[in-house]
Chain A
Amino acid sequence: MKRIILLATLATLPINTLLAANYTIDPGHTYVSFAINHLGFSTMRGKFDRQSGSLRYDPASKSASVKIEIDATSIDTGHDKRDAHLQSPDFLNAAESPTITFESTAVQWNGDKLASVSGDLTILGVSKSVTLTVTSINCGKHPFNKKDVCGFDATGSIKRSDYGVNYGLPAIGEVLDLYIELEAFKN
């Protein structure tokens, strides 16, 4: 009887959910970075040093999803005082909202290649839909530990005012370009 219930439950799941492989993000080879216009003169870059997450990816069934959690207190622009300011209520308010999340809601394929990932990016408790363009995917056996690994590069843009991060507008740029480069091991 239990087997019947289990089979009936499994039958209700989408088939691609069952086929898709689960991966865990390797924090040591995952980089979430950003670029923003600085006072109209140049582009300032920064990154987050701590993130975690998981993804499902199966090109055969064209299914994929991703969830990334980024530690807002790990922001690093190579300048301690500026990093403290970026964590303050003027920008990320990291003491109150220590986690930035991205959770996919839809994926688009170009042939058998993952073309883009759309999802909800949550900053300061505000969730907005963002589409990340996938610029590179490579999967295979890791040469050293022999585990199955996939690497993804993706980019996108957000308007920080959409998340209530208004400090310094318009002098400090409103549009933030996001870059996510991640590696994930198959579970």
Chain B
Amino acid sequence: MVIFRLKPQLEPTLMEQILNRPEIQSAVAPFIVALLFSLGLKKVTASAWIWSIFAAFLIAASLINGLTLTPLTGTRKIILAVLGALVVSALAPGVIQRANLRRSLLVLLPMLAVLWVFWKVAMRMEITGIALFVTAAVGLVVALTWAFDRLTGDPASFHAAGFSLMLGTGLCATAAASALLGQLALSLSAASGAVLLAWVLFGNAVKSPHLSKSLTALPYILAPALFGIAAVLLARLPWYALIPLATIPAATSLVPGKIESRFFSALVQSIPGLVIALVVSFWVWQTGSSDSGY
């Protein structure tokens, strides 16, 4: 007995049709929300850019995943962890003066999130698999922390690296057979791009002070680590694709010299990360290339 259904039973409204489109959910909506929040909050709080990304990601996650948290899958834990990291980094500007403590927390907090999200999957691995998973996760988080630590003095390179890293992570996750993880990561990229554009338009007005004395890099370390590991463990992203992606912030930090124009500064700082992100994504897409089945 096969039931044929040629049409959905209820025709969605025009607004539902628009909001159901992946490009709206993971690019247009978070970009617009982040840009509006950046402009609206620029004189209210120094952490405007963080709250902008928080609002954009919250909207995007609710469009992509819905507001439900049950069952509490790994993907939903990632959403909660990223939102939590954004809140922590926004509420603790400049409170941590000791560099060593800050760096330790920037490694420790993402690692705790990694364990919380993936312990269920890790517990099914062989002991060697668990050891490799933990080693790779620590390596990834330490590499991102080290690289972002070198960028915290310059908003252009800081946000350009975050934008490119999340773009590469999102595209790779999408190419590795999880549109859900890919869309969520791409929404963070779109929000970071909007923050970068707001900096180009208004400069120091949206620059968060104390970049080097706070946990502001936490979302840019935690989010790509969680989405990258999830794409490996829960989907089919080859683990070695994370290595070139992890070099994006370091590559951004290598761009020399100061450029007066904020537009050209943002553009130049974005180029190394974008090149790496697009090349890795294309390679992941090619290695898994075949008809998608849809």
The answer to whether A95 and B4 touch across the interface, beta carbons within 8 angstroms, is no
Q: List residues 135-167 of chain A with CB under 8 A from any CB of chain B.
A: 155, 157, 164, 166-167
Contact of B3 among A80, A95, A96, A177 (CB under 8 A): A177
User: Which of A39, A89, A126, A173 interacts with B75 by CB under 8 Å?
Assistant: A89
Query: Known contacts A40-B6, A96-B121: does B234 contact A89 (CB below 8 Å)?
Result: yes
- Kindly state the separation between the CA atoms of A89 and B65 in the bound complex, as whole angstroms: 11
- Distance between Cα atoms of A175 and B2 in the complex (Å): 11
Q: Is the CB of B293 within 8 A of A170?
A: no
A-facing residues in B1-46 (Cβ within 8 Å): 1-8, 12
B233 CB-CB contact with A under 8 Å: yes
Interface centre among A77, A81, A155 (most CB of B within 10 A): A81
Interface string of A75-87 (1 = CB under 8 A from B): 0010111101100
Q: Which residues of B contact A85 (CB under 8 A)?
A: 177-179, 292-293
Within the complex, the shortest CB–CB distance from B198 to chain A, in Å, comes to 31
Which residues of chain A are within 8 angstroms of B1 by Cβ–Cβ distance?
A: 155, 177
| CB pair B290 A81 closer than 8 Å | yes
Contact B178 A90 (CB under 8 A): yes
Chain-A contact segment, one of B47-55, B66-74, B147-155: B66-74
In Å, the complex CA distance between A157 and B1 comes to: 10
User: Which residues of chain A come closer than 8 Å to B7, judged between CB atoms?
Assistant: 40
The answer on a CB contact under 8 Å between B8 and A89 is no
- What residues of chain B lie closer than 8 Å to A155, measured between beta carbons? 1
In the complex, the answer to whether B178 meets A89 with C-beta atoms within 8 Å is: yes
Q: Range of interface residues on chain A? A: 20 to 34
Contact in complex: B293, A177 (CB < 8 Å)? no
The CA-CA distance from A43 to B3 in the complex, in Å, is 9
Q: How far is the CA of A173 from the CA of B294 in the complex (A)?
A: 13
User: Distance in Å from the Cβ of B244 to the closest Cβ of chain A?
Assistant: 22
Query: Are A96 and B8 neighbours in the complex by a CB distance under 8 Å?
Result: no
CB <8 Å contact, A96 and B2: no
| Chain B residues closer than 8 Å to A93, beta-carbon distance | 73-75, 234
User: Per a CB cutoff under 8 Å, which of B8, B71, B290 touches A80?
Assistant: B290
Indicate whether B213 reaches chain A with its CB closer than 8 angstroms: no
Q: Which of B5, B68, B181 lies in contact with A89, CB distance below 8 A?
A: B181
A124 within 8 A of B: yes
The reply to whether A88 and B68 contact each other, CB–CB distance below 8 Å, is: no
Contact A175 B3 (CB under 8 A): yes
Within 8 A of A (CB), among B167-207: 177-181
B residues contacting A by CB (< 8 A) are 1-8, 12, 65-66, 68, 70-71, 73-75, 120-121, 124, 177-181, 230, 233-236, 288, 290-294
Residues of A participating in the B interface, judged by any CB pair closer than 8 Å: 35, 37, 39-40, 43, 77, 79-82, 84-85, 88-90, 93, 95-98, 124-126, 155, 157, 164, 166-167, 170, 173-175, 177
Closest 5 CB pairs of A and B: A82-B293, A170-B8, A88-B178, A125-B71, A79-B293
Can you give 14 A-B contacts (C-beta < 8 A)? A81-B293, A85-B177, A88-B235, A89-B181, A89-B234, A93-B74, A97-B73, A125-B71, A126-B70, A157-B3, A167-B179, A170-B8, A174-B8, A175-B5
